[in-house]
Structure 1
Amino acid sequence: MQKKISMILLMLFCAPFYLMAQNNISGIVTDSETNSPLPGATIVIKGTSTGVTTDFDGKYSIQASEGSVLVFSYIGFEPVEKEVTTDVINVTLKNDVAQLDEVVIIGYGTTTKKDATGSVQLLTSKDLNKGAITTADQMIAGKSAGVRVVNNGGDPDAGINIRIRGGSSLNANNSPLIVIDGVPLSNQNPAGQANPLTLINPNDIESFSVLKDASSTAIYGSRASNGVIIITTKTGTKGAPQFNFSSNVQVGTLSRTIDIFESSEYTDFIQNTYPNSSELLGLNGTIYDTNWQDEIYRTSYTLNNNLTARGNLFNKIPIRASFGHSEINGILKESQLNRYTASLNISPEFFDQHLKLTINAKGIATEKDQPDGGAIGSALTANPTLPVYDPDGGIFGGFYQLTDDQGIVGPANPLALLKQRERNEDADRFIGNMELRYKIHGLEDLTAVINTGIDYSESTINEYFLPSAVASYSIFESLPIFNNFSENYSEDQVKRDHLLDAYLSYEKLWDGALRKIDVQAGYAYQNFTTQGVTYPTTTENGFRESQQPFKYYTELNLQSYFARTNLNFYDKYLLTASLRADGSSLFAKDQRWGYFPAVALAWKIDSENFLKDAEWLSQLKLRLGWGLTGQQDITGPVGFYPNTALYDDGDPTVSYIFGDRAVTTYRANAFNPDLSWEKTSTYNIGIDFDMFSSILSGTIDAYTRNTTDLLAEVPQSEGALRNRFVSNVGETDSKGFEAALQIRPIQTNNFTLEFNSNVGFNETYIKDLDNITQFASGGGIGRGTGVNIGQTAVGERNRTFWLYEQIYTADGAPIEDAFVDQNGDGVISDSDRIFIPFEPKWTYGFGTYMQFKSLDLTANFRGQIGGRIYNGNLLNRGFTASVIPLTDTGFINNALNLYDGTRYNGFSNIPSDLQALSDFYVSDASFLRLDNITLGYNLKPFDDKKIGLRIYGSANNVFVVTDYEGLDPENFDGIEASPYARPRTFTLGLNLDF
Structure 2
Amino acid sequence: MRKVFTNLTGGVLLCIFSIVQSFAQNIAVKGVVTDAKTKETLVGVSVRVKGVTSGTSTGATGGYAISVAPTATLVFSYIGYQTLEVPVSNRTDINVQLVSSATELQQVVVVGYGTQRKVDVTGAVAQVKGEEISKQSTPNAVSALQGKVAGVQITNAGTPGSSPQIRIRGLGTVYGNANPLYVVDGAWYDDISFLNPADIENMSILKDASSESIYGIRAANGVVLITTRKGKGQPRVSYDGYAGFQHVTNLVKMANASQYATLINELNSQQTFANPSSFGDGTDWYNVVLRDAFTTNQYLSFGGSTEKSSYNYSVGYFKQDGIVKNNDYSRVTARLQNDIQAAKFLKVGYNAVLQGNNTTDIPPGIIGKAYTAAPVVPVFYADGTYGDPADYPIGNVPNNPQAQLDFYNQKSKNYRVTGNVYADVKLMKDLTFRSSFGGEFGDGEVRAYNPVYQATTYQFNKISLLTLTKSQTRNWIWENTLTYDKTLGDHKFTILAGQSAQRYKSYSSTGTAQNVPYNSEGDLYLALGTSDTRSITDQGDLSTYESYFGRVNYSFKNRYLINASLRADGSSKFIDDQRWGYFPSIGVGWVVSDEDFMKDQKFFSSLKLRGSWGKVGNASVPANLSTLTVNQQPQFTAIYGGVPATGANITTIVPPVTYWERGVGTDIGLETSFLDSKLTFEVDWYNKKTEQAIFQIPILGSLGTTGNNILGNQADFQNRGWEFTAGWRNKINDDFSYNLSGNFSINNNKVLSVETGGTPIYAGGAAATGGQLSTRTVVGQPIGQFFGLQVDGVFQNAAEIAASVQPSAKPGDFRYQDTNSDGKIDAADRVVLGNPNPKYTFGLNTGFNFKEFDLAVDVQGVAGVDVYNANKGLRFGSENYSEDFFNNRWHGEGTSNSYPSANIGGGENYKPNSWYVEDGSYVRIRNIQLGYTFPSALLSKWKIQRLRVYLNAQNAFNFFKYNGFTPELRITDAVTQPGINAGIDNGIYPLFATYNFGLNLTF
TM-score using structure 1 length: 0.85
State the match for 1:630 in structure 2. 617
- The Cα of 1:942 is off from its aligned counterpart by 2.6
State the match for 2:506 in structure 1. 530
- Aligned residues with identical type, % of pairs: 28
Tell me the distance in 1 between the aligned counterparts of 2:824 and 2:716: 33
Letter in 1 for 2:540: Y
User: What SS does the corresponding residue of 1:578 show, helix, strand or coil?
Assistant: strand
User: What SS does the corresponding residue of 2:272 show, helix, strand or coil?
Assistant: helix
Per-residue CA deviations over 1:694-729 (Å, capped at 9, x if unaligned) read 210121000112322222223568646553232223
- The Cα of 1:415 is off from its aligned counterpart by 1.6
State the match for 1:611 in structure 2. 598
Per-residue CA deviations over 1:648-684 (Å, capped at 9, x if unaligned) read 7x589999999xx999987666543311122221111
- The Cα of 1:977 is off from its aligned counterpart by 1.9
The structure 2 residue matched to 1:290, chosen from 273, 283, 299, is 283
Per-residue CA deviations over 1:943-987 (Å, capped at 9, x if unaligned) read 336431100001111121112222212224211121210111101
- The Cα of 1:567 is off from its aligned counterpart by 0.4
| 1:200-599 superposed matches below 5 A | 200-237=195-232, 239-267=233-261, 276-278=271-273, 289-312=282-305, 315-352=307-344, 354-394=345-385, 399-403=386-390, 410-440=397-427, 443-466=428-451, 481-487=460-466, 489-512=467-490, 515-536=491-512, 546-599=533-586
Tell me the distance in 2 between the aligned counterparts of 1:37 and 1:103: 17
**Structure 1 range deviating more: 820-829 or 79-88:** 79-88
> Kindly tell me: are residues 772 and 732 of structure 1, through their superposed partners in 2, closer, same or farther at Cα, counting changes over 3 Å?
same
State the match for 2:189 in structure 1. 185
**2:231 touches 2:303 (CA, 8 Å); kept in 1?**
yes
Tell me the distance in 2 between the aligned counterparts of 1:725 and 1:809: 39
State the match for 2:694 in structure 1. 711
**1:434 touches 1:451 (CA, 8 Å); kept in 2?**
yes
- The Cα of 1:770 is off from its aligned counterpart by 2.4
**2:31 touches 2:96 (CA, 8 Å); kept in 1?**
no
State the match for 1:15 in structure 2. none
Tell me the distance in 1 between the aligned counterparts of 2:776 and 2:932: 52
> Kindly tell me: are residues 71 and 651 of structure 1, through their superposed partners in 2, closer, same or farther at Cα, counting changes over 3 Å?
farther
User: What SS does the corresponding residue of 1:434 show, helix, strand or coil?
Assistant: strand
User: What SS does the corresponding residue of 1:730 show, helix, strand or coil?
Assistant: strand
| 1:659-738 superposed matches below 5 A | 670=652, 671-715=654-698, 719=703, 721=705, 722-738=707-723
**2:296 touches 2:318 (CA, 8 Å); kept in 1?**
yes
- The Cα of 1:647 is off from its aligned counterpart by 6.2
Tell me the distance in 1 between the aligned counterparts of 2:101 and 2:231: 24
Per-residue CA deviations over 1:65-109 (Å, capped at 9, x if unaligned) read 867999967662156799997432143646545584432221122
> Kindly tell me: are residues 746 and 520 of structure 1, through their superposed partners in 2, closer, same or farther at Cα, counting changes over 3 Å?
same
> Kindly tell me: are residues 94 and 457 of structure 1, through their superposed partners in 2, closer, same or farther at Cα, counting changes over 3 Å?
closer
Per-residue CA deviations over 1:40-76 (Å, capped at 9, x if unaligned) read 44588987985435xxxxxxxx696867999967662
State the match for 2:92 in structure 1. 87
> Kindly tell me: are residues 83 and 666 of structure 1, through their superposed partners in 2, closer, same or farther at Cα, counting changes over 3 Å?
farther
Letter in 1 for 2:235: P
> Kindly tell me: are residues 129 and 433 of structure 1, through their superposed partners in 2, closer, same or farther at Cα, counting changes over 3 Å?
closer
> Kindly tell me: are residues 901 and 459 of structure 1, through their superposed partners in 2, closer, same or farther at Cα, counting changes over 3 Å?
closer
User: What SS does the corresponding residue of 1:157 show, helix, strand or coil?
Assistant: coil
User: What SS does the corresponding residue of 1:411 show, helix, strand or coil?
Assistant: coil
**1:499 touches 1:524 (CA, 8 Å); kept in 2?**
yes
- The Cα of 1:112 is off from its aligned counterpart by 1.4
**Structure 1 range deviating more: 451-460 or 686-695:** 686-695
> Kindly tell me: are residues 702 and 643 of structure 1, through their superposed partners in 2, closer, same or farther at Cα, counting changes over 3 Å?
same
Tell me the distance in 1 between the aligned counterparts of 2:703 and 2:459: 39
State the match for 2:993 in structure 1. 984
Letter in 1 for 2:387: Y
Tell me the distance in 2 between the aligned counterparts of 1:817 and 1:501: 62
| 1:101-112 superposed matches below 5 A | 101-112=106-117
> Kindly tell me: are residues 277 and 901 of structure 1, through their superposed partners in 2, closer, same or farther at Cα, counting changes over 3 Å?
farther
State the match for 1:120 in structure 2. 125
Is residue 2:787 matched to residue 1:802? yes
User: What SS does the corresponding residue of 2:404 show, helix, strand or coil?
Assistant: helix
> Kindly tell me: are residues 72 and 405 of structure 1, through their superposed partners in 2, closer, same or farther at Cα, counting changes over 3 Å?
same
> Kindly tell me: are residues 893 and 840 of structure 1, through their superposed partners in 2, closer, same or farther at Cα, counting changes over 3 Å?
closer
State the match for 1:56 in structure 2. none
The structure 1 residue matched to 2:607, chosen from 602, 617, 620, is 620
Tell me the distance in 2 between the aligned counterparts of 1:390 and 1:702: 64
> Kindly tell me: are residues 393 and 210 of structure 1, through their superposed partners in 2, closer, same or farther at Cα, counting changes over 3 Å?
same
**2:482 touches 2:498 (CA, 8 Å); kept in 1?**
yes
Tell me the distance in 1 between the aligned counterparts of 2:472 and 2:967: 37
Tell me the distance in 2 between the aligned counterparts of 1:495 and 1:989: 35
- The Cα of 1:437 is off from its aligned counterpart by 1.4
- The Cα of 1:548 is off from its aligned counterpart by 1.9
User: What SS does the corresponding residue of 1:52 show, helix, strand or coil?
Assistant: coil
State the match for 2:808 in structure 1. none
Tell me the distance in 2 between the aligned counterparts of 1:200 and 1:26: 36
State the match for 1:4 in structure 2. none
Tell me the distance in 2 between the aligned counterparts of 1:646 and 1:30: 60
**1:685 touches 1:702 (CA, 8 Å); kept in 2?**
yes
The structure 2 residue matched to 1:960, chosen from 958, 981, 988, is 958
Tell me the distance in 2 between the aligned counterparts of 1:307 and 1:861: 30
Per-residue CA deviations over 1:615-662 (Å, capped at 9, x if unaligned) read 553321100111111223221xxxx212345667x589999999xx99
State the match for 1:866 in structure 2. 864
Is residue 2:143 matched to residue 1:138? yes
- The Cα of 1:610 is off from its aligned counterpart by 1.5
State the match for 2:949 in structure 1. 951
Tell me the distance in 1 between the aligned counterparts of 2:246 and 2:322: 8
- The Cα of 1:406 is off from its aligned counterpart by 15
**1:871 touches 1:966 (CA, 8 Å); kept in 2?**
yes
State the match for 1:148 in structure 2. 153
**1:236 touches 1:310 (CA, 8 Å); kept in 2?**
yes
**Structure 1 range deviating more: 900-909 or 831-840:** 900-909
The structure 2 residue matched to 1:927, chosen from 894, 902, 922, is 922
**1:252 touches 1:986 (CA, 8 Å); kept in 2?**
yes
> Kindly tell me: are residues 73 and 308 of structure 1, through their superposed partners in 2, closer, same or farther at Cα, counting changes over 3 Å?
farther
Per-residue CA deviations over 1:165-199 (Å, capped at 9, x if unaligned) read 1022332432211111111113xxxxxxxxx3321
**2:591 touches 2:607 (CA, 8 Å); kept in 1?**
yes
User: What SS does the corresponding residue of 2:192 show, helix, strand or coil?
Assistant: helix
User: What SS does the corresponding residue of 1:348 show, helix, strand or coil?
Assistant: strand
**2:328 touches 2:361 (CA, 8 Å); kept in 1?**
yes
User: What SS does the corresponding residue of 1:681 show, helix, strand or coil?
Assistant: strand
Is residue 2:753 matched to residue 1:744? no
**Structure 1 range deviating more: 164-173 or 73-82:** 73-82
- The Cα of 1:802 is off from its aligned counterpart by 1.3
**2:210 touches 2:587 (CA, 8 Å); kept in 1?**
yes
- The Cα of 1:584 is off from its aligned counterpart by 1.2
Tell me the distance in 2 between the aligned counterparts of 1:664 and 1:460: 33
**1:42 touches 1:72 (CA, 8 Å); kept in 2?**
no
Which blocks of at least 5 consecutive residues in structure 2 are unaligned? Answer: 1-23, 48-54, 519-528, 801-810, 892-898, 971-981
Is residue 2:836 matched to residue 1:838? yes
**1:490 touches 1:536 (CA, 8 Å); kept in 2?**
yes
Tell me the distance in 2 between the aligned counterparts of 1:963 and 1:485: 45
> Kindly tell me: are residues 833 and 427 of structure 1, through their superposed partners in 2, closer, same or farther at Cα, counting changes over 3 Å?
same
Letter in 2 for 1:259: K
Letter in 1 for 2:327: S
Letter in 2 for 1:521: A
Tell me the distance in 1 between the aligned counterparts of 2:39 and 2:602: 25
Letter in 2 for 1:148: Q
